[in-house]
Amino acid sequence: MDIVVCVKTNPDLQMVRIKDREAVTEAVPYKIGDLEKNALQAAVDLRAAVGGKVVALCLAEGNRKAAEDIKVALAMGADEAVVIDDPALAAPDQAAVAAALAAAVKKLDACDLLLFGEGSTDNYTGQVGPRVAELLGLPQISYARKVEAAAERGVVRCVRSMDDMLETVEAPLPAVVTVVSEINEPTIPGLMQIMKAKSKPLQVWSLADLGSEGPAPVREVVSNLAEEQDRKHILFEGSAAEQADAFVDALIREGVLGR
């Protein structure tokens, strides 16, 4: 079974600072998102069960070190990796991302199962997986917490997390599946796996390699500011009990607590 895992590298959110209500991402390192690691682990587990190959597919999206960062996916068990890196995709919207990934999957010309994380760590729109499925004309299963492949019947079977129940569904292969974090606990690669990753195949493709110019962006970011906070600078004095009472009174006056 040929499995393609779409992997996104995101700025490390723990390293992002807020200045003048705007996120400062300069010099912030990138890393593979947590849900993408879940999808990678699911692919590696499927390969162990039914055989085949795992390809990690990544869109650089302005990450100049994407070709290096994707080696984590190779260390986790992917057999090879492909990075789409083009200046026109420095700040793409979900439509452009999906179009580029769909074109890359077509170029790979061997995909029985396409795996995504249910959402990315930074934006978590949950749009890219379904958009790629639509562009490729493939069935899609979302919110998968368990993935099994019945290659002899040509189907993938998933257990989905719904609001108040679990649902088991099947779809014919090839198919797109988006996974949730409950599906597994990703394995942390050891030194040997990290060393072997350096010799695994890694290709970098441009939009020209995909025979595509990329769609014009349809998203316009009007504002992306942190919530403005009005600090009261209230100083509580007295004993600990008096300060606690004054603090509660202040919360009541602000309408945070009811009487």
Q: Do 185 and 100 reside in the same domain of the chain?
A: yes
In a domain, 233, yes or no: yes
Q: pLDDT class for 175, splitting at 50, 70, 90?
A: very high
If one counts the domains in the chain, the total is 2
Each as own residue / partner, the long-range contacts of residues 182-185 (CB below 8 Å, 24 or more positions apart, any chain) are 182/145, 183/38, 183/41, 183/42, 183/144, 183/145, 183/146, 183/147, 184/38, 184/41, 184/42, 184/45, 185/41
74 lies in the same domain as 158:
yes
Q: Looking at the domain assignment, is residue 237 inside a domain?
A: yes
The pLDDT of residue 217: 62
State pLDDT tens for residues 70-85. Answer: 999 999 999 999 999 9
Grade residue 216 by pLDDT with cuts at 50, 70 and 90.
low
Please tell me whether residues 149 and 196 are part of one structural domain.
yes
- Strand duo 155-161 + 166-172: pairing: antiparallel
**Are the CB atoms for 33 and 120 separated by under 8 Å?**
yes
The verdict on 178 and 251 lying in the same domain is: no
- 194 phi-psi bin (left φ>0, alpha ψ -120 to 50, beta other): alpha
- 210 assigned to some structural domain: no
Say yes or no: 43 and 110 in one domain. Answer: yes
Indicate yes or no: pTM above 0.85: no
Whether 13 is covered by a domain: the verdict is yes
Same domain, 174 and 106: yes
Is 48 within a domain?
Answer: yes
Dihedral, 180, 194, 107, 38 alpha carbons, nearest 10? 0
Token pair in block for residue 120:
């990315």
Side-chain-facing half-sphere of 164: CA atoms under 13 Å: 0
Q: Which domain range does residue 259 map to?
A: 229-259
- What's the pLDDT tens digit per position in 144-155? 999 999 877 899
Query: Is 10 in the same domain as 98?
Result: yes
Q: Give pLDDT, residue 88.
A: 86
- Cα–Cα distance measured from residue 160 to residue 178, given in angstroms and rounded to the nearest whole number: 10
Query: Is the same domain home to 254 and 147?
Result: no
CATH number, domain of 175, equals 3.40.50.620
22 domain-assigned: yes
Mean residue pLDDT of the chain comes to: 89
Structure tokens at 47: 């390969």
Residues 194 and 246 in one domain: no
CA dist 148 to 43, 118, 159, 218, Å?
10, 17, 9, 36
Q: Is residue 213 part of a domain?
A: no
Q: What is the Cα–Cα distance from 130 to 166, expressed in whole angstroms?
A: 20
Q: Are residues 195 and 236 in the same domain?
A: no
Q: Which residues pair with 17 in a beta bridge?
A: 24
3-state secondary structure at position 48: helix
Residue-wise pLDDT tens digits, 7-58: 998 887 777 777 777 777 777 888 899 999 999 999 999 999 999 999 999 9
151 with 253, same domain?
Answer: no
Is residue 87 domain-resident? yes
Domain check: are 145 and 237 in the same one?
no
* 255 Rama class: left (phi>0) / alpha (psi -120 to 50) / beta: left
